[in-house]
Structure 1
Amino acid sequence: MSRILGMIHTVFSIVEPINRLVLEIMPGVDRINIVDDYIVKLIEARGGITPEISRIVASHILAVEGEGADAILVTCSSISPCVDYARPLVSVPVLKIDDPMTDMAVQMGDRIGVLATAPTTVKPTSELLLKKAGQMGKKITIEVELKEDALEALTVGDKESHDRILLDSITSLSGKVDVIVLAQASMAHLESKVDENTRQKVLTSPRSGVEQAKKILGL
């Protein structure tokens, strides 16, 4: 019987590319996908993660476990703090897609740039980086660039403007920091669009996050 990977998403646009990546890295693995595209709006309305929101995310994780998932990958950085709440409630590994990326960022340098388009992503990503730095005994500084205009462009279907805004930000950040974290999985395609010198500084979460799941599943 094939292994089963459950995934919790908050945007529909990430489902197809993440599943394609999973099949590339783990051919034959079965997948369960849950998409809750309202939860980020709820985080914005509540001003951050609340116990109520953690319970909602935990209910999705419990549902995926109930369907037989051998491991669960949460693909949205905005809800990654909820993973810590949910882990004791289930008997299978629950993974944050940005865990390996943030590990690598802290290992690569002391000045870390965080590029985001959703305000709800900034705090969880920054806190995760600081936590990793503490575990490694390092002191880091974080330079955040929040580009909500890029998100607005993407919302109306203007992917070209979305990409242009973020690529300009990557160029700007690259001169100030040692490494740049693209805080949302939906931004991963930008890595291939930056020049080779800058690309060495840019980290994205999907591939390393899925590789982490492969290791956990023993594949």
Structure 2
Amino acid sequence: MSKILGLIHTVFSIVEPINKLASELMPGVDRINIVDDYVVKLIKARGEITPEISRIVASHIMAAEDEGADAILVTCSSISPCVDFVKPLASVPVLKIDDPMTDMAVQMGDRIGVLATAPTTVKPTSELLLKKAGQMGKKIIIEVELKEDALEALNVGDKELHDKILLDSLTSLSGRVDVIVLAQASMAHLESKVDENIRTKILTSPRSGVEQAKQTLGL
């Protein structure tokens, strides 16, 4: 029987690219996709991840496990702190998509830029970077660029403006930091659009996150 990977998403736009990547890296692995596009709105409304939000995310993860997932990958940075809450309750590995990316960022530099469009992503990503730095015995400085106007453009269907705002921010941020992380998996396509004159390393989470899942599944 083939392995099964559970995927927990909070935006519909990421479902296709993540599944395409999983199909490329793990052909023959079945996938369970669970999408909850309201939970991030709850985090924004509450101002933090509350116990009720952790329970909601836990219910999605446990549902994927009940359906037969051998490992579960949470593809949204905004809800990644819930993974720490759920891990002891699950009998299969539960992974954060941005774990490998943040590991690499801390290994690569002391000044780390974080580019985000969703305010709910900033704190989890920054805290994960600081946690990784502590584990490695490093001190880091994090510089955040939050571009909510890019998210607003995307929400009204203007992907071109969304990308332009973020690419301009990457150019500005690149001169001030050693490495830049794109805090949301939905921003990964920007990697191929970056000006070739930008020498600062830019990291995205989808490929390394899915590779982590592949390794966890023993493939």
- Which TM-score applies when normalising by structure 1? 0.99
- CA-to-partner distance for each residue in 1:29-78, whole Å, 9 max, x for gaps? 10000000000000011111011100110000000000000000000000
Give the conservation status (yes or no) of the 8 Å contact 2:180–2:200: no
Give the conservation status (yes or no) of the 8 Å contact 2:177–2:200: no
Measured after TM superposition, the shift of residue 199 of structure 1 is 6.1
**Distance in 1, Cα, partners of 2:198 & 2:60:** 38
Give the conservation status (yes or no) of the 8 Å contact 1:54–1:82: yes
Q: What residue identity is the alignment partner of 1:107?
A: Q
**Distance in 1, Cα, partners of 2:167 & 2:25:** 27
**Distance in 2, Cα, partners of 1:92 & 1:149:** 38
Measured after TM superposition, the shift of residue 154 of structure 1 is 0.3
Give the conservation status (yes or no) of the 8 Å contact 2:74–2:80: yes
CA RMSD, 1 decimal:
0.8
Give the length in aligned residue pairs.
Answer: 219
Aligned-partner SS, 2:198:
helix
Measured after TM superposition, the shift of residue 182 of structure 1 is 0.1
- Which TM-score applies when normalising by structure 2? 0.99
Which runs of no fewer than 5 residues in structure 1 stay unpaired? Answer: none
**Distance in 2, Cα, partners of 1:200 & 1:68:** 41
Aligned-partner SS, 1:31:
strand
**Distance in 2, Cα, partners of 1:59 & 1:199:** 42
* Within-5 A mapping of 1:42-121: 42-121=42-121
- CA-to-partner distance for each residue in 1:65-106, whole Å, 9 max, x for gaps? 000000000000000000000001110000000000000000
Aligned-partner SS, 1:91:
coil
Structure 1 outlier segments of 4+, above 2 Å = 195-200
Measured after TM superposition, the shift of residue 26 of structure 1 is 0.5
Equivalent position of 1:21 in the other structure: 21
Aligned-partner SS, 1:157:
coil
Equivalent position of 1:122 in the other structure: 122
Q: What residue identity is the alignment partner of 1:201?
A: K
Give the conservation status (yes or no) of the 8 Å contact 1:113–1:177: yes
Equivalent position of 1:170 in the other structure: 170
Give the conservation status (yes or no) of the 8 Å contact 1:191–1:199: no
Measured after TM superposition, the shift of residue 195 of structure 1 is 2.7
Measured after TM superposition, the shift of residue 204 of structure 1 is 0.1
Q: What residue identity is the alignment partner of 2:70?
A: D
Distance 1:36 1:129, change over 3 A: same
**Distance in 2, Cα, partners of 1:107 & 1:154:** 32
